[in-house]
């Protein structure tokens, strides 16, 4: 039995599921971005940045955080959105919404994530870029 499964079964037996509050999720051994970041939507109004982390684990709510800007040396803007981890999923999709970006402009960005108490998940992406329409 691997460690994650063990934790899961201990959780179940210890009744944290009985109370049905969000259970604490087992943490992957090496946390890493397994997909993305990518930009599935570049819109005049809404732009979406998305990436997948194998499993940050821990507290039920995590925040995806995007630092972005038009100057690669100064990512002056920050956007973040909370997500709830799924205790039964082996990976977690983070998604951050950016609104009303200037048109026909190239943006640079990096992504990271943290838990609801602000503790970093310890993964940061390389800088990436996209251009609005």
Partner 1 sequence: MREKRLIAVMIVCAGVAAALLFSTRPISAQNHEHEKGEPPFPLYNPYPPGILPANLESEIARVLREIDVIEERAIQRWHSLPLPTRLATRPGPNPPVLKDTGTESIETLGELMLFDKNISPGRNQACTSCHMPYAAWSGPIPSVNLTIIAYPGTVHFRAGKRTAQRHTYAPFFPVLQYNQEQGLFFGGNFWDSRATGYRLRDPDAEQAQGPPVDTQEMGFPDTACVAFRLSQAVYKPLFEVLWGKNSLDIKFPQNTEEICETPGGAAVFGGDPEPIKLTPEERTEANTVYDHWGASIDAYEQSTQVSTFTSKFDAMLKGNYTFTPDEQAGYNLFNGKGNCNSCHVDGRGTTLKPGQTDTSTTATANPPVFTCFGSANEGLPLNPRDAFYYQTTPDSFGFIGNPFGFGYRDLGMGTFLRSGFGSGPNPNRTWIQFAPMVDGQFQVATTRNVAMTPPQCPTTEAGTGKPYFQKEFFHNGYIKSLKQLVHFYNTRDTSFAKNVTSGHCPEGTIERVTCWPMKEVPNNLDTTTGMLGLTDTEENQIVAFLETLSDGFTSPYPNSDTFTGACMTCNPATDPNCSPSRQGNGELIPTPPLPPCASAICGVAPVPSPPIP
If residue 110 lies in a helix (H) or strand (E), which one and from where to where? strand 106-115
Stretch that binds partner 1, among 30-38, 102-110, 114-122, 124-132 (CB under 8 A): 114-122
Nearest to 8 by CA among 53, 57, 63: 57
Residue with tokens 């609005």: 132
State the DSSP string of 18-56: HHTSPPPBPPPSS--EEEEEEEEEE-SSEEEEEEEES--
If residue 14 lies in a helix (H) or strand (E), which one and from where to where? none
Stretch that binds partner 1, among 21-29, 67-75, 102-110, 125-133 (CB under 8 A): 21-29
Closer by beta carbon to partner 1, 100 or else 129? 100
Q: Binding of partner 1 at residue 97 (CB under 8 A)?
A: yes
Closer by beta carbon to partner 1, 19 or else 126? 19
88 by DSSP, 3-state: which? Answer: coil
Stretch that binds partner 1, among 36-44, 67-75, 102-110, 121-129 (CB under 8 A): 36-44
100 by DSSP, 3-state: which? Answer: coil
Q: Are strands 61-69 and 33-42 parallel, antiparallel or unpaired?
A: unpaired
Closer by beta carbon to partner 1, 20 or else 73? 20
* Interface of this chain with partner 1, residues 42 to 81, rule: CB under 8 A: 43-46, 48, 50, 59-61, 64, 81
| Site of interaction with partner 1 (CB under 8 A) | 8-9, 12, 15, 17-23, 40-41, 43-46, 48, 50, 59-61, 64, 81-90, 94-97, 99-100, 115-118
């Amino acid at each position: 039995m691997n460690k994650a499964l063990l934790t899961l079964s201990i959780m179940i037996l210890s009744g944290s599921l009985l109370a049905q509050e969000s259970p604490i999720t087992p943490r992957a051994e090496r946390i890493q971005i397994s997909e993305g970041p990518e930009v599935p939507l570049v819109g005049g109004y809404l732009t979406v940045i998305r990436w997948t982390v194998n499993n940050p684990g821990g507290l039920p709510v995590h925040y995806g955080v995007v630092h972005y800007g038009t100057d690669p040396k100064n990512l002056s803007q920050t956007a973040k959105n909370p997500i709830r981890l799924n205790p039964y999923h082996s990976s977690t999709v983070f998604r951050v919404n950016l609104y009303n970006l200037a048109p026909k402009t190239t943006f640079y960005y990096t992504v990271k994530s943290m838990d609801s108490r602000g503790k970093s998940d310890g993964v940061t992406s390389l800088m990436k870029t996209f251009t609005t329409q």
